[in-house]
């Protein structure tokens, strides 16, 4: 009888890690939430894209050096345990799970919405399609990272291709609509901070690279390089899309980029963007299920979650019970998901999560530090500041969730002792 391995195989190279990051980043943020940000900040959206990218870059460097010094699955959950204490570590893992499960459900519903619009399906089937999609992609994630990477490569190629089409085909729209820049109303400071907080979430998919640290080949060099390439490519794509979109009157809606693309003098522009949006949502869903299952695996290994979640398949390629559990949670949240509320909820929780990441980076000993200490301070201050620029009722719910998580952590500590 072949023994069940206790660790996952290292099989992800630089290109695979970059594609995983892009598959997690280029999705709901650009195809749905960019319209929401544009409706808040107008042409100030461009500033929000750049500032949020800078904050994400600080976080990326800090997450990269943490992952390089401690390359195991789990991300900031594991870093919190190692460099702070049990309570900080658990809080990070708890926030990540709930925030990203909600984001996964949003991606599933976003996919279903675009599909319903494309095929003229009765909207009453939207939720059922979303749940069915979660089931299918949970099965793909459960097959292991190699098979999932093949699916992710196809998804990223189609999605990036659609966005590049949007940028090129939209050049006439930019030329005709550039005058809107000078005549547009300037956003307030409050608008810019809120827009930056919401836009930051669109970059946080790079964290999937760190959460898969146990499966990355040569993590000390691969992880930092993959994060920086992913963030750079994402910022360029977002900026191109934002310029074209704002020139075409981009605003909030169920399919904001499609509405802009339909103005192009190119046949089937709306259809091409719809296909890109559909693949993007699928990419986000797949990569989030993969990343979340690894965090759940790490939490179970430390007995913060039930022990059956520590099981890995015989080939050592997938923590199947953790993948299935995440799939079930996401499917349940899909039944009640709301895109606008979920995005703001994710913004608060993710910003607090990365505040903890930066706090952990400050504790790194000099021998393990790859980047200047001031980057950790910048990331910590920026994330903590931006977290409270979302709606007040959202961060109140987030704080209540943290409290509930700490009660569960205390219970697990007592029951496992």
DSSP string of 193-234, one letter each residue: HHHHHHHHHTTGGGHHHHHTGGGBSSHHHHHHHHHHHHHHHH
- Distance of alpha carbon 381 from alpha carbon 308, whole angstroms: 38
Q: What is the mean pLDDT of residues 268-281?
A: 85
Q: What phi and psi, each to the nearest 5 degrees, are found at residue 74?
A: 125, -20
Residue 149 has pLDDT above 70, yes or no: no
Give pLDDT, residue 279.
Answer: 83
User: Which range, 68-82, 215-229, 339-353, has the best average confidence (pLDDT)?
Assistant: 339-353
| Average model confidence (pLDDT) across the chain | 83
Q: Which residues, listed in sequence order, are joined to residue 216 by a DSSP beta bridge? A: 12
Q: What is the mean pLDDT of residues 296-321?
A: 83
pTM for the model: 0.80
Superfamily designation of domain 14-415 = Amino acid/polyamine transporter I (1.20.1740.10)
* Residue scoring higher pLDDT (4 or 303): 303
* Residue scoring higher pLDDT (413 or 407): 407
Burial 75-103 (b: 16+ CB within 10 A, else e): bbbbbbbbbbeeebbbbbbbbbbbbbbbb
* Residue scoring higher pLDDT (279 or 360): 360
Contact 390, 347 (CB under 8 A): yes
Residue 24 has pLDDT above 80, yes or no: no
Q: What is the mean pLDDT of residues 175-196?
A: 74
- Percentage of residues of the chain with pLDDT beyond 70: 88
The structural domains of the chain, with segments of one domain joined by +, span: 14-415
Which residues contact residue 197 at a Cβ distance below 8 angstroms, ignoring those fewer than 6 apart?
A: 52, 347, 351, 386, 387, 389, 390
pLDDT band at 183 (very low <50, low <70, confident <90, very high): very low
Residue 48 has pLDDT above 60, yes or no: yes
Contact 347, 48 (CB under 8 A): no
Residue 62 has pLDDT above 60, yes or no: yes
């Amino acid at each position: 009888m072949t023994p069940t391995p206790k660790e996952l195989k290292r099989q992800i190279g630089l290109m695979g890690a970059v594609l995983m990051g892009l598959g997690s980043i280029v999705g709901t943020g650009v195809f749905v939430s960019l319209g929401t940000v544009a409706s808040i900040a107008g042409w100030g959206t461009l500033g929000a894209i750049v500032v949020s990218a800078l904050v994400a870059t600080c976080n990326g460097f800090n997450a990269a050096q943490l992952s390089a010094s401690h390359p195991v699955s789990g991300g900031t959950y594991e870093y919190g345990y190692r460099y702070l204490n049990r309570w900080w570590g658990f809080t990070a893992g708890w926030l990540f799970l709930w925030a990203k499960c909600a984001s996964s459900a949003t991606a599933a519903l976003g996919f279903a919405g675009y599909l319903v619009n494309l095929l003229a399906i009765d909207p009453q089937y939207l939720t059922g399609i979303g749940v069915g999609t979660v089931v299918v992609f949970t099965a793909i994630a459960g097959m292991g990272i190699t098979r999932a990477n093949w699916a992710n490569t196809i998804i990223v190629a189609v999605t990036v291709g659609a966005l590049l089409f949007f940028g090129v085909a939209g050049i006439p729209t930019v030329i005709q609509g550039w005058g809107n820049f000078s005549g547009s109303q300037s956003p307030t400071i409050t608008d810019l901070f809120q827009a930056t907080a919401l836009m930051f979430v669109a970059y946080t998919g790079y964290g999937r690279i760190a959460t898969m640290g146990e499966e990355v080949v040569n993590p000390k060099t691969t992880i930092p390089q993959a994060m920086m390439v992913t963030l750079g490519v994402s910022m360029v794509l977002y900026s191109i899309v934002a310029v074209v979109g704002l020139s075409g009157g981009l605003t909030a809606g169920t399919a904001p980029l499609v509405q802009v693309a339909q103005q192009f003098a190119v046949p089937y522009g709306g259809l091409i963007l719809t296909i890109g949006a559909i693949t993007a949502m699928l990419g986000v869903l797949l990569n989030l299920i993969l990343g979340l299952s690894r965090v759940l695996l790490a939490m179970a290994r430390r007995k913060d979650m039930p022990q059956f979640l520590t099981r890995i398949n015989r080939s050592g390629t997938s923590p199947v019970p953790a993948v299935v559990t995440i799939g079930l949670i996401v499917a349940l949240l899909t039944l009640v998901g709301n895109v606008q509320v979920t995005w703001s909820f994710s913004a608060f929780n993710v910003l607090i999560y990365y505040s903890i990441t930066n706090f952990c980076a400050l504790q790194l000993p000099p021998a393990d530090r790859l980047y200047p200490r001031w980057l950790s301070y910048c990331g910590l201050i920026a994330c903590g500041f931006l977290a409270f620029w979302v709606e007040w009722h959202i961060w109140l719910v987030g704080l209540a969730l943290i409290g509930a998580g700490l009660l569960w952590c205390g219970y697990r500590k007592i029951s496992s002792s």
